[in-house]
Amino acid sequence: MSNRTTIDARNAFCPGPMMEMIAALKTIAVGDEIEVLSSDKGSANDIPAWTRKVGHQLVSSDDHGTHWSIVVRRMK
Amino acid sequence: MTARLLIVGGGMAGTIVANGLARRLSHELRSGDVNVTVLGTSNDHMYQPGFLYVPFGRVRSQELKRQERSILDRRINFVIDPATHIDVDANRVVAQSGKSYGYDYLVIATGSRLVPEQIPGLTEGAYHCYDLEGARKLRGAIDAFEGGRIVINVNAPHKCPVAPLEITLMLDEHLRDRGLEGKFDITYTYPIGRLHSLEPVAEWAVPEFDRRGIKYQTFFNTKEVDVAKKVVHSEEGDSFEYDLLITIPPHRGAQVIEDSGLGAGGWIPTNPRTLLREGSDNVFVIGDTTNIPISKAGSTAHFQADTVVENLTMMVQEGRWSREYDGKVFCFIETGLSRGTYIWFNYKTPPRPTPPTQMVHWFKLAYNRMYWLSACGLL
């Protein structure tokens, strides 16, 4: 069972959801997950694409209307 | 009974809290109802934003350092004894000497540290200006630089989020002033899909970079530096050759936070408005140490410290809460060696950068001197 850490980056201007996620990935073990709550559409688009490019796993990306919930599993 | 207020960390945040408490609780300090102790790691207090000017010879190292004891109000107990374990269940902090410090209220302001060693080759291959020693070495490298490829390589997470842009623009102007125009090129790399975390700042930076001919690569998270071949590689598969590599190193929180099991990466889960540690009602966390998704910057630490001072004072004097932190951050942005701008924002208000002016640059230079009044709790 993966451990999951949630970052509530809704309305966070700086450093913003994606930077928070990149930083958080460095603090968890391989196989564990980060959930990012983001109200920034750019991050909602960028995080899944970036995750695939660098070899982590996109577990889910859900549009909740007011924000997105994106879950990424660290793979390396 | 005396209320014991313990502050772990003698940087900007811890010092402002201590001096603010000394001013507001002067009666209680005099009567012995309260004592305030700062537990620090060194008697050197550095003005960290000043490191930016060292590589360009714009500030003397001595201007950036004061003795912590001389800044702290004389009624504050100051002990140099690095904390090694913070036990929030037992309300005590154990330090390197073996001594245990009990508290009724604790403020954790242990800051962040540079961890370039997390990326292979970065320590050996890159310069930085995020501490005084690094800034001095970078100055030597820039003085010796006669042309070639410069890569300015930004890593996450890092404090002072506008510093990467500032050093890029200042370096470009500095080298042009030295007559090296046409003999160098700068490539700026950034971890996410734009030039800065703040979208309005990123939008402002693109035409500024284009105008100066500064190249950029977004989505660049450094994987390793091949020091022998002078190439920096990213997790995304991109690579750049360099003659001079300047990095913004990745950061972690203080080792004592990780050793005490208070937060992954050294960042403590903290309520973004009360600044209380999650799960505690007598432990405040401020500055870089929090895990709040907000800029790790001196102004953040300053505004958070003001909030904690108000709340601790009110709790000691009246047993009630005063106010919450609104997420305020203010950053000067040097856009070269003679002009600057600024941004401010909070949890509700987005930032809106204004066109750079000479006046803002001068004000930034003035603040570099006035900082010591902030640390003393006077500004």
Q: Do B156 and B232 belong together in one domain?
A: yes
Residue B80 lies in a domain: yes
For residue A41, the distance in angstroms to the closest alpha carbon of chain B comes to: 12
CA B42 remoteness from chain centre? 17
Domain end, chosen from B291, B325, B359, is at B325
Q: Three-class SS string for chain A?
A: CCCEEEEECCCCCCCCHHHHHHHHHCCCCCCCEEEEEECCHHHHHHHHHHHHHHCCEEEEEEECCCCEEEEEECCC
Q: Do B209 and B132 belong together in one domain?
A: yes
Could you confirm whether A14 is annotated as catalytic? yes
Q: How many domains does chain B have?
A: 2
Q: Are B356 and B338 in contact (CB under 8 A)?
A: no
Q: What is the pLDDT of residue A43?
A: 85
Q: Establish if B127 touches chain A: CB-CB under 8 angstroms.
A: no
Cβ within 8 Å of A, B 12-31: none
Residue B12 lies in a domain: yes
Q: Establish if A48 touches chain B: CB-CB under 8 angstroms.
A: no
Q: Establish if B198 touches chain A: CB-CB under 8 angstroms.
A: yes
CA B59/CA B368 separation, integer angstroms: 10
The range of the structural domain enclosing residue B155 comes to 117-250
Q: Are B276 and B225 in contact (CB under 8 A)?
A: no
Residue B31 lies in a domain: yes
Residue whose tokens read 């700068």: B186
Q: Do B264 and B227 belong together in one domain?
A: no
Residue B339 lies in a domain: no
Q: Do B47 and B73 belong together in one domain?
A: yes
Q: Do B61 and B136 belong together in one domain?
A: no
Q: What is the pLDDT of residue B145?
A: 98
Taking CB atoms and an 8 Å limit, are B293 and A15 in contact across chains? Answer: yes
Q: Chain A residue with minimal CA distance to B159? A: A15
CA B326/CA B248 separation, integer angstroms: 28
Q: What is the pLDDT of residue A14?
A: 86
Q: Do B245 and B169 belong together in one domain?
A: yes
Closest CA to B371 of B135, B65, B1: B65
Q: Do B220 and B276 belong together in one domain?
A: no
Please state, as a whole number, how many other Cβ atoms lie within 10 Å of the Cβ of residue B327.
22
Q: What is the pLDDT of residue B223?
A: 98
Domain end, chosen from B250, B285, B315, is at B250
For residue B192, the distance in angstroms to the closest alpha carbon of chain A comes to: 7
Residue B82 lies in a domain: yes
SS3 B158: coil
Q: Do B239 and B141 belong together in one domain?
A: yes
Structure tokens at B180: 């090296």
Q: Which residues, including other chains, have CB under 8 Å from residue B36's CB and lie 6 or more apart? A: B5, B7, B18, B21, B22, B25, B29, B75, B76, B77
Q: Chain B residue with minimal CA distance to A40? A: B199
Residue B355 lies in a domain: no
pLDDT in tens, B286-301: 999 999 999 999 999 9
Q: Establish if B157 touches chain A: CB-CB under 8 angstroms.
A: yes
Own/partner pairs for B360-368, CB < 8 Å, 24+ apart?
B360/B332, B361/B334, B361/B335, B363/B332, B364/B332, B364/B334, B364/B340, B367/B332, B368/B47, B368/B49, B368/B50, B368/B53, B368/B59, B368/B63
Q: Chain A residue with minimal CA distance to B197? A: A15
Q: Do B212 and B266 belong together in one domain?
A: no
Q: Are B302 and B325 in contact (CB under 8 A)?
A: no
Q: What is the pLDDT of residue A41?
A: 83
For residue B309, the distance in angstroms to the closest alpha carbon of chain A comes to: 25
Give the residue, B172 or A53, on which the prediction is more confident.
B172
Please state, as a whole number, how many other Cβ atoms lie within 10 Å of the Cβ of residue B141.
16
Closest in A12, A13, A54 to B221, CB measured: A54
Taking CB atoms and an 8 Å limit, are A12 and B329 in contact across chains? Answer: no
Helices (H), B236-281: 255-259
Residue B340 lies in a domain: no
Structure tokens at B320: 């009630």
Q: Which residues of chain B have pLDDT under 50?
A: none
Q: Establish if A75 touches chain B: CB-CB under 8 angstroms.
A: no
Domains parsed from chain A with CATH numbers = 4-73 (3.30.110.40)
Structure tokens at A8: 């509530």
Q: What is the pLDDT of residue B376?
A: 87
Q: Chain A residue with minimal CA distance to B191? A: A19
Domain end, chosen from B197, B232, B250, is at B250
| H/E stretch holding B84 | strand B83-87
Residue B100 lies in a domain: yes
Q: Establish if A39 touches chain B: CB-CB under 8 angstroms.
A: no
Exactly one of A13, A14, A53, A66 is catalytic; which is it?
A: A14
Closest in A9, A11, A23 to B156, CB measured: A23
Q: Do B241 and B134 belong together in one domain?
A: yes
Q: Do B125 and B215 belong together in one domain?
A: yes
Taking CB atoms and an 8 Å limit, are B198 and A27 in contact across chains? Answer: no
Q: Do B134 and B176 belong together in one domain?
A: yes
Closest in A11, A13, A19 to B156, CB measured: A19
Q: What is the pLDDT of residue A2?
A: 81
For residue B293, the distance in angstroms to the closest alpha carbon of chain A comes to: 6
- In this prediction, residue A12 has a pLDDT band, given cuts at 50, 70 and 90, of confident
Q: Chain A residue with minimal CA distance to B250? A: A23
CA A74/CA B20 separation, integer angstroms: 43
Test the B interface: residue of A8, A13, A21, A52 with most B CBs within 10 Å = A13
Helix axes A41-54, A17-25, angle to 10 degrees: 30
Domain harbouring B103, CATH code = 3.50.50.60
